[in-house]
Amino acid sequence: MQIAAKDVQVDYSAADGTLFRALGPVTMTVESGTFVALLGPSGCGKSTLIRALAGLEPVSGGELRIDGRGINGPSVKVGVMFQDANLMPWRTVSQNVALPLELRHADLEKRAVAVKRVLEPLGLAEFGDVYPGQLSGGMAQRVALGRVLVQEPEVLLLDEPFGALDALNREKISLDLLRIWAQRRQTVLMVTHDVNEAVLLSDRVFVMSQRPGHIIADIPVDLERPRSPEMIYEASFVAIAREVRSAIDTA
């Protein structure tokens, strides 16, 4: 499913009634089945764009389309994940992951199969009966990712999903995400502040300007897949990362 934005703007009204432009105009296309990273200065509107694509925020101008259709609200085809895992502490890992299916009234057997299929590749197979309070931050984010993947979305909107994790955990979970993505080839738009993470994971990197953000650079990442962490030392990787950094410097 392709993601497309044309001249998209989002305005908020300030307390004094004046309009405050948080985003745009943004024009971009994320082709079906590709992985795109989105970087930009703090407050430039990255989360606003993610929320609008997720159907959680109306746009004030322009057009957003997913798979050629306008966005009227959240869709099961579009999974969204934020920096905070937001798990329900009174539900086990399996019950947290199963929640979207429960809300759709999927039958119990289907739920169990779907949850198992998601827990395994996330390294959570042994943790189904554990409660969130017993999980590390990295494990909690894995559960949150599982809760998104269990709906088998065709689009993944990831807003700094690993931003609060330490470097080692962050690398591990992002490589697991890459492996999962390689099998299902969802269309991914992922916000990150980490240039190496952006280049390691994605097919293209979009860089946004200061608020109100628009896309100032669209940098292709022509590195072979599967990717491995050692690639960050290769000359071709370093050159792309440098290009991304210099785009950020001009933002």
Ligand X SMILES: Nc1ncnc2c1ncn2[C@@H]1O[C@H](COP(=O)(O)OP(=O)(O)OP(=O)(O)O)[C@@H](O)[C@H]1O
Give the separation between CA 85 and CA 83, rounded to whole angstroms. 6
Angle subtended by helix axes 108-119 and 137-149, to nearest 10 = 130
153 binds ligand X (CB under 6 A): no
Angle between helices 108-119 and 93-103 (to 10 degrees): 130
Q: For residue 245, give the 3-state DSSP assignment.
A: helix
d(CA 8, CA 44): 14
Q: Does 45 bind ligand X (CB under 6 A)?
A: yes
Residues 191-230 that bind ligand X (CB under 6 A): 211
Q: Which is nearer to ligand X, 95 or 196 (CB)?
A: 196
Q: Is the CB of 159 or the CB of 243 nearer to ligand X?
A: 159
Measured at the CA of 192, the angle between CA 191 and CA 198, to 5 degrees, comes to: 105
* Binding of ligand X by 146 (CB under 6 A): no
Determine if 44 is a binding residue for ligand X (CB under 6 A): yes
**Nearest distance from C-beta of residue 52 to ligand X, angstroms:** 9
CB of 218 to ligand X, least distance (A): 17
- Which residue of 2, 27, 32, 47 would you call a contact of ligand X, by CB under 6 A? 47
Q: Which stretch binds ligand X (CB under 6 A): 46-54, 62-70, 99-107, 150-158?
A: 46-54
CB 189 within 8 A of CB 27: no
Shortest gap between Cβ of 96 and ligand X (angstroms)? 24
Q: How many residues bind ligand X (CB under 6 A)?
A: 11
Instruction: Compare residues 52 and 200 and give the one whose CB is closer to ligand X.
Output: 52
Q: How far is the CB of 73 from ligand X (least distance, A)?
A: 17
Alpha-carbon radius of gyration of the chain? 18
SS3 annotation, 102-157: HHCCCCHHHHHHHHHHHHCCCCCHHHCCCCHHHCCHHHHHHHHHHHHHCCCCCEEE
User: Is residue 170 part of the contact set for ligand X (CB under 6 A)?
Assistant: no
Measured from the CB atom, is 3 or 99 closer to ligand X?
A: 3
* Binding residues vs ligand X (CB under 6 A): 12, 22, 40, 42-48, 211
